[in-house]
Chain A
C-alpha cells in the first residue's frame, strides 16, 4: 500500500522526495484555512503523481497475483476428479434398505451394539436417545463391566481385573487361559520395581503363585531369580526385560480376548469385520461392474442372489464351510448336496447325475467304478 506524506508549503520543513514509507495520518486536522486557496507547488505535484502511479501499480499487481492462484486451485480440483471415483454404484439397487423403515432401525441398532463393544459408551447412549432405540440392560451390562475393568487396566490398576479373573476362574481354566497368573505376575513385577523397600511385600505376594506352579514353573523361577538383583536395581540386571511396558498393553489384549471368548463374542465387533470386508469388496465389485458394462454383457450378472466374483478376505474370514463342486464349479446347496464316492472323492449330486453312464458311474479323479446309489451324502 502506498502511503505518502504531504509537506505544507511555507513550513520550515524541507520538501520531501518520494516519502512513500512515511505513514499518513488521515485523521489529522485539516490544513489551516490560510492555506486553503493556495495552489500546490510543482514539486509536490510531481511527488503526488508518482505516488498515484505507484498505488495503481501495486493494487493491479495484487489483483493479478491473486488471479494467478486460480490455475493452481483448479488443478487441485482436476486432480481430485481424476484420481477419485465420484460415484459408487451399489451392490444392489440403492433402495434395498431405504424401502423398509425397519431396516434403518436395525442398522442403527447394529451401530449401537458396535459402539458398546468398542467401549464408546457415551456415544452409544447418545445414539440411543436420538434414535429412540431401547437397548436391554442385559445386553449392555457385560460391556459396562468390561469397559470399567479395561479403563482400570489402562491406568495400571489391577484390582478390578483380578476380581473378575478370580470370579470366572473355572471358565477361564476351561479356556486354558493364563490371565490370572499374568495379572499376579504383573503385580509382583510392580512391587519389585518399588525397590528393596518392597522386598517383604513382594515375597509374601509370591504365595499367590502357588496354584500356578505346575503350568508356569519356568516363569515363576525367572521372577524369583530376579529378587537377587533387588538391591542393585532391576534395570541393570539381566532381568530388565521384566520391566518392559509392553506387558501392560499385552495384558489389556489378553483380558479383552479372554473376556470376549467367555461372553461368546468375537474380539472385533461384527460391524467392523463387515465394514472391513466391504472395503476390500467394494473396489472389486465396481471394477467388475465397469467391465461388464463396457463389454455390454449385462446378462452375466443377472441372478441377483449371488455376487459375480469371488472376494478374497483371507483365511480368518472363513467362518462357514463352503464346498464348490470341482466339476461344475458351483456352490453346493440343500437341493444339490455334496456326495462322497466310494473312493473318497467328493462331487455335487448334479455332477454325479451327469456322469452316470449306462447305470454305472466312473469317478472323474481315479479309475474306481461304482453304483450311483453308493454315493453318500455328506455334511460339512
Chain B
C-alpha cells in the first residue's frame, strides 16, 4: 500500500470515523429495549389485575364456574404476555448481536498479519463508499457493492432505505408515511425540538391534494403536538384548534406549491440525519477532502501540465478537478524526487544540476548516460556528463 498507516494511526482514525457505525445500531437497540420494557410493563399490569381479581373472588366463597372463567382470563393474559415478551426480547437480542458484530469487526483493525490488515482497510473504504452512495440516493449500487464486498452487516442500509420510502412518498405528495415516521420517532424528535414537520404535512391534508384517506379527521389529533414553528413565517402556533388551522390554510394557499414539498423533503433528510446523530456530509467525502489536500502540491496545477506525475492521485483527471478548491499540503521539510526515475534524491542518490538549471538524481543520470553525454529529458538539450554539478539541500 502506498500510504503507511501504523497501528496507532489506525486507532486514531477509528475514533474519528466510526461513530456512525456504532451509534446507529445502538440507537436501534435502545429503542427496542424501551419498547420491550413498555410492552412487558403493560402486559404485567394486565396480568396482575386479573390475578388480583381472582384472589378477591377466592377470598369470598366462590362458585366453581366463576373461578374457572377467571382462570381462563388469567391464562389468556399470561400467554399474551409470553408472546409479546418473546417477540420484543428477540428483537432486542438481534440489535445487540448486530452491535456486537460491528464491534468485533472494528477490533480486527489491529490484526498482526499484514494480509488481514489490508483486507480490513479495503473493507473500510468500501463501507464508507456504501454510506456515501446511500446518501447520494444510489441505493441499488450501494446494496450491490455491500453484497459484493461482504459488508452488509456493517453498514446502515436499513436506515437509509426507510428514509428512501418516506422521501419517495413525499415526492408523490403523500404524507402518510412521513407522519408514521414522525410518530415512530416522536420521543427523540421531541428531544430535538423539531416538530415543525408535524404541522406542515397536516396543513396539506384538508386540501385533499394527493393525500388519500386524510380528511378533517386527521387534524384534531394533530393539535395535541407540542408548540411548533413554521420556518418561513416564523409564526409560533400553540395547540391551535383544527378549524383555525383550516382557516390559516385557506389564507396561506401558496403552501401547496411544489417548492414547499422539496423543502419538506430536505427538512426530513436533515432531521433524519440529526436524529441518528449523523452529519450532513458523508465520512467518505470528508476523508477524501482531507486526503486530497494532504497530497496536493502546486506542481499538480501547473498550466503547461509539464510537472504532472503519472502516480500522483491529484494529477489524475477527475481528482485534479475535484481537488482544485481545496487547500494545499503543508511541507516544512524538503523532499526531492528525481523526474526521470521517481526515486528519492538524498545522500544515496545526490541531486545533480545540469547547466540548464534542471536537477536530476545521480543514479538516473548514470542510467541515461550515453558516450559520456546526457540529454535533459525536459528540454532535450545535450550536455557532457561532467557538466553536472552537485547541489546541497539542507
**Which chain B residues numbered 273 to 292 have a C-beta less than 8 Å away from chain A?**
277, 279-281, 283-292
Q: Which residues of the partner chain B approach A310 to less than 8 Å between Cβ atoms?
A: 329-333
Query: Does chain A have a CB within 8 A of B154?
Result: no
Q: A127-B133, A321-B335 are in contact. Are A307 and B64 (CB under 8 A)?
A: no
B313 touches A282 (CB 8 A): no
Secondary structure call for the B interface: helix
A111 touches B54 (CB 8 A): no
Query: Does chain B have a CB within 8 A of A232?
Result: no
For residue B220, give the distance in angstroms from its CB to the closest CB of chain A: 35
Query: Does chain B have a CB within 8 A of A273?
Result: yes
B62 touches A39 (CB 8 A): yes
Q: How far is the CA of A92 from the CA of B281 in the complex (A)?
A: 12
Tell me which of B1, B316, B327 contacts A270 (CB under 8 A).
Answer: B316
Q: Mark B311-330, 1 if CB is under 8 A from A, else 0.
A: 11111101101100111111
A67 touches B37 (CB 8 A): yes
**Which chain A residues numbered 33 to 56 have a C-beta less than 8 Å away from chain B?**
35-40, 45, 48-49, 52, 55-56
Q: Interface with A: B5-13, B155-163, B249-257, which one?
A: B5-13
Q: What's the interface size class on B, roughly? A: 35 or more
Q: Which residues of the partner chain B approach A91 to less than 8 Å between Cβ atoms?
A: 286, 289-290, 293, 326-327
Tell me which of B3, B133, B351 contacts A280 (CB under 8 A).
Answer: B3
Query: Does chain A have a CB within 8 A of B166?
Result: no
A319 touches B290 (CB 8 A): no
Q: How far is the CA of A3 from the CA of B74 in the complex (A)?
A: 10
Q: Which residues of the partner chain A approach B1 to less than 8 Å between Cβ atoms?
A: 268, 276
B2 touches A314 (CB 8 A): yes
B329 touches A307 (CB 8 A): yes
A321 touches B295 (CB 8 A): no
For residue A355, give the distance in angstroms from its CB to the closest CB of chain B: 14
B328 touches A306 (CB 8 A): yes
Residues of B participating in the A interface, judged by any CB pair closer than 8 Å: 1-5, 9-10, 12-19, 22-23, 26, 29-30, 33, 36-37, 40-41, 44, 47-48, 51, 54-55, 58, 61-65, 67-68, 71-72, 74-76, 78, 81-82, 85, 89, 99, 121-122, 124-125, 128-129, 132-133, 136, 138, 140-141, 144-145, 148, 277, 279-281, 283-295, 297-300, 307, 309-316, 318-319, 321-322, 325-337, 339, 344-345, 351, 353, 357-359, 389-394
Closest 8 CB pairs of A and B: A278-B291, A270-B313, A319-B312, A314-B4, A278-B287, A276-B3, A283-B12, A277-B291
